[in-house]
Amino acid sequence: MKYNIKHLKEGSVTSAKGFMADGVHVGLRYNKKDVGMIYSEVPAVAAAVYTLNKFIAAPNIVTKESVNAERTLQAVVVNSACANACTGKRGMDDAVIMRRLAAEKYDIPEHYVGVASTGVIGEFLNMEKIAKGIREVAPEATTEGAKSFEKAIMTTDLIEKYTGYEAEIDGVKVTIGGCCKGSGMIHPNMATMLGFITTDANVDKDALQRAFSKITDISFNQITVDGETSTNDMVLLMANGMAGNNLLSEDHPQWDVFYTMLRKTSEDLAKSIAKDGEGATKLIEVKVKGAKNDADARAISKKIVGSSLVKTAVYGNDANWGRIVSAAGHSTADIDPSKVDVILGDQYMLKNSEVQPFDEEAAKEYLKSDTVYIEVNFHLGKGEATAWGCDLTYKYIEINASYRS
């Protein structure tokens, strides 16, 4: 079904009514902004997804406490340069202090504040500088405020990552916007990936969490850069209701409009992380069709896009489709190896598991594209999924060999 949904070219966390953001430099990094904040004029319904890494970082634990209290947030404070992970009691105390300082700044309950950190694991936060940043940050409802926030949350990212959409629901304009950071240590269940999505929609809190959890599985959890799941992965969604629409839930006649906007926002952000993978030169998109079910399709597509051999073949412009079927063959999904199609761009490499003649030079040229599309059809059922990743280059090794230098 087609909806009248408009993509916002400069969509961001300040696109939705009532949301403000900013970022400042306080010296956690040499010369880049390193403390950021998002603030809503009114308390917002909150939904969240968190890392499945067993070494969950202190800020994630504190934020989960905040969200679980009332499923309401009004502010989020973020720092880069230090992950505050594997830092014991001191790390927990520091994350709680960050939350308290942000709450005092706006005279709101402490559990209305979320906390996020990204950077080096196993180092303590410089709380004097963090406190200075919380005092100095001045969120505003402008594109400039959103850009400052986007810069403050970056680590090895090369570009800011943002998007937004708007549509009419109940006769009023409803807007969703978001930003994220992530370039390396990306293999979510939930990557270091931090994402922040804001909307002025009026949404039932249970319906919001159900939708967000479902959408995360087909967006953020379908990307991979290097197969590593961070201690700090987290995506937060805030809905402050200031658009003035009737309460949205699955029973609302225009629920699908809101759901589609949220899915598009999440997919845009997820793809931007995969495209900006450390050292990457190409985005790889793998579409799996005909799996037994969607879960199998997700497993296969992510296995293919995460294969180091597939990633290096794409980097080297080598149409080695054998690496694609090999990766699919050791996924957890059920497959029938006798009736598989593999398509690279618009060329069949394999059809019904029979090798197809193809133009090697044309395939080589295609692999030089900024985005490489791979489709695999297993002809077993109706399961479909898409996963996104990037090529694996010499630059990735260079970046990560000197990450702390």
- Work out the burial of residue 314: count CB atoms within 10 Å of its CB; fewer than 13 is exposed, 13-18 middle, 19 or more buried: buried
Q: Is 51 labeled as ligand-binding?
A: no
Compute φ and ψ for 284, nearest 5 degrees.
-110, 125
Residue 240, domain CATH: 3.60.70.12
Q: Which pTM value belongs to this model?
A: 0.87
- Cβ distance 324 to 310 under 8 Å? yes
Compute φ and ψ for 35, nearest 5 degrees.
-130, 130
260 shares a domain with 329:
no
Q: What is the model's pLDDT at position 301?
A: 95
Q: Is 278 labeled as ligand-binding?
A: yes
Chain Cα centroid distance, residue 67: 19
The segments of the chain whose pLDDT lies below 50 read: 184-191, 405
Q: For the chain, what is the domain count? A: 2
| Domain-located, residue 296 | yes
The C-alpha atoms of residue 70 and residue 108 are separated, in whole angstroms, by 13
Closest CA to 278 of 318, 228, 335, 343: 228
308 shares a domain with 260:
no
204 shares a domain with 295:
no
379 shares a domain with 288:
yes
- Please name the helix (run of DSSP H) or strand (run of DSSP E) that holds residue 93, with its range, or none: helix 88-106
| Domain-located, residue 174 | yes
| Domain-located, residue 350 | yes
| Domain-located, residue 255 | yes
The C-alpha atoms of residue 250 and residue 92 are separated, in whole angstroms, by 37
208 shares a domain with 293:
no
DSSP state string for 283-337: EEEEEEEEESSHHHHHHHHHHHHH-HHHHHHHHTT---THHHHHHHHTSSS---T
Q: What is the model's pLDDT at position 192?
A: 58
290 shares a domain with 270:
no
User: End-to-end distance of the chain based on CA atoms, in angstroms?
Assistant: 51
264 shares a domain with 315:
no
The C-alpha atoms of residue 317 and residue 70 are separated, in whole angstroms, by 51
Compute φ and ψ for 170, nearest 5 degrees.
55, 30
Give the CA dihedral 289, 291, 294, 300, nearest 10 degrees. Answer: -80
300 shares a domain with 268:
no
287 shares a domain with 271:
no
292 shares a domain with 391:
yes
Residue 312, domain CATH: 3.10.20.340
| Domain-located, residue 102 | yes
Q: CB neighbours (10 Å) of residue 20?
A: 21
Q: Is 221 labeled as ligand-binding?
A: no
Strands (DSSP E) found in 182-301: 194-199, 234-239, 283-291
The C-alpha atoms of residue 305 and residue 322 are separated, in whole angstroms, by 14
Q: Is 132 labeled as ligand-binding?
A: no
Last residue of a domain, one of 252, 275, 298: 275
| Domain-located, residue 136 | yes
Q: What is the model's pLDDT at position 393?
A: 82
Q: Is 192 labeled as ligand-binding?
A: yes
**15 contacts: CB under 8 Å, gap ≥ 6:** 8, 146, 164, 166, 175, 176, 177, 198
328 shares a domain with 269:
no
Closest CA to 323 of 331, 313, 315: 313
The C-alpha atoms of residue 385 and residue 132 are separated, in whole angstroms, by 45
The C-alpha atoms of residue 314 and residue 96 are separated, in whole angstroms, by 45
10 shares a domain with 55:
yes
Q: What sign does the dihedral 50-69-151-28 (CA atoms) show?
A: negative
| Domain-located, residue 1 | no
Catalytic residue among 51, 72, 192, 198: 192
**For residues 64-77, b (16+ Cβ closer than 10 Å) or e, as one string?**
ebbbeeebbbbbbb
**226 contacts: CB under 8 Å, gap ≥ 6:** 184, 185, 186, 187, 277, 278, 392, 396
Output the six-digit token pair for 368. 């030089």
Output the six-digit token pair for 284. 């790889």
State which residues form the domain around 369. 283-401
Distances (CA, A) of 330 to 217, 276, 303, 326: 21, 27, 8, 7
Q: Write out pLDDT tens, residues 354-384.
A: 999 999 999 999 999 999 999 999 999 999 9
Last residue of a domain, one of 228, 247, 275: 275
Q: Tally the C-alpha atoms within 13 A of residue 346's C-alpha that lie toward its C-beta.
A: 2
The C-alpha atoms of residue 350 and residue 40 are separated, in whole angstroms, by 52
Last residue of a domain, one of 242, 275, 308: 275
| Domain-located, residue 256 | yes
The C-alpha atoms of residue 26 and residue 131 are separated, in whole angstroms, by 9
Q: What is the model's pLDDT at position 79?
A: 97
Decide if 192 is catalytic. Answer: yes
Q: What is the model's pLDDT at position 188?
A: 42
